[in-house]
Chains A and B, each alone.
Chain A
Amino acid sequence: MNEATSALSRRRLFEIIGASVGGAAAYQAMTRLGHAEESPYRGPIKLDGDPKGASVIVLGAGLAGMATAIELERAGYKVSVLEYNLRPGGRNWTLRGGDVYTELGGATQRCEFDAGLYLNPGPWRIPYHHYAILDYCRRFGVTLEPFIQLNHNAYLHSANAFDAKPQRIRDIKADFDGGVAELLAKATRKGALDDAVSTEDQEILLEALRSLGALDKEFRYRAGDDSAAHRGYAKHSGGGLGAEPIAGDPVGLHDILTSRLWRGLQSFLLYDFPTTMFQPVGGMGRIGEAFARQIPDRIRHGAKVVAIRQNDSGVAVDFEDLMAGGTVREVRADWCVCTLPLSILSQIPINVSAPMKAAIEAVPYASAVKFGLQFSRRFWEEDEHIFGGITYTDLPIRQISYPSTNFNAGGKGVLLGGYTFDGANSYEFTAMPPAERVKRAVAFGAQIHPQYLTEFENGVSVAWHRVPFTLGCAGDWSDEARKAHYNDLCEIDGRIVLAGEHASYIPAWQEGAILSALDAVQRLHKRVVAS
Chain B
Amino acid sequence: MRLMALRAIVLVVSGAAGAPTLADDAPANSAAMSHGWEFAEQGGADLFRNVCAACHQPDAKGAVGAGSYPSLVADKNLDSADFMLSVLLGGLKGMPRVGDMMSDAQVADVVNYVRTHFGNSYSEAVSATDVAAARRRAQSAP
Contact = CB atoms under 8 A, between A and B. Distances in A.
A84 interface: yes
Contact of B16 (A18, A160, A446): A160
Contact of A471 (B51, B65, B91, B98): B65
Of B21, B37, B53, the most chain A CB neighbours within 10 A belong to B37
A159 B139 contact: no
A511 interface: no
Nearest to A432: B29
Contacts of B91: 364
B30 to A, nearest CB: 9
B96 to A, nearest CB: 4
Contacts of A472: 94
B51 A159 contact: no
B33 A443 contact: no
Given A12-B3, A344-B66, A431 B37 contact: no
Given A2-B139, A12-B6, A160-B15, A104 B53 contact: no
Contacts of A364: 91, 93-97
A11 B3 CA distance: 9
A463 B54 contact: yes
> Could you tell me the dominant secondary structure of chain B's interface residues?
loop
Interface residues of A, number: 70
B123 interface: no
Interface in A452-484: 463, 465-472, 476, 484
A7 B100 CA distance: 7
Interface string A465-506: 111111110001000000010000000000000000000000
Contacts of A161: 13
B39 interface: yes
B57 interface: yes
A4 B100 CA distance: 10
B62 to A, nearest CB: 9
B22 interface: yes
A491 B14 CA distance: 45
B49 interface: yes
Nearest to B17: A159
Contacts of A159: 14, 16-18
Contacts of B138: 3
B68 A424 contact: no
A305 B66 CA distance: 8
Contacts of A4: 139-140
Nearest to B61: A105
A3 B37 contact: no
A431 B93 contact: no
B49 A431 contact: yes
A62 to B, nearest CB: 12
A366 B96 contact: yes
B36 interface: yes
Given A19-B13, A367-B54, A394-B14, A471 B67 contact: yes
A142 B15 CA distance: 45
B1 interface: no
A2 B29 contact: no
B74 interface: no
A114 interface: no
Interface string B1-39: 001001101100111111011110001010001111111
Contact of B37 (A11, A344, A444): A11
Interface string A408-438: 0000000000000011110110111100100
A395 B66 contact: no
Of A3, A18, A428, A436, the most chain B CB neighbours within 10 A belong to A428
Contacts of B97: 7, 364
B40 interface: yes
A405 B106 CA distance: 45
Nearest to A470: B66
A25 to B, nearest CB: 14
Contacts of A336: none
Contacts of A470: 66
A16 B139 contact: no
Instruction: Identify the 8 closest CB pairs spanning chains A and B, nearest first.
Output: A468-B65, A343-B94, A443-B20, A424-B34, A4-B139, A430-B54, A104-B63, A364-B96
22 contacts: A3-B140, A104-B64, A104-B69, A106-B63, A158-B17, A160-B13, A342-B94, A344-B67, A346-B94, A347-B93, A395-B17, A424-B38, A424-B39, A424-B101, A425-B33, A428-B33, A430-B55, A431-B52, A431-B54, A432-B29, A443-B22, A465-B55
Interface of B: 3, 6-7, 9-10, 13-18, 20-23, 27, 29, 33-40, 49-55, 57-58, 63-69, 91, 93-98, 100-101, 138-142
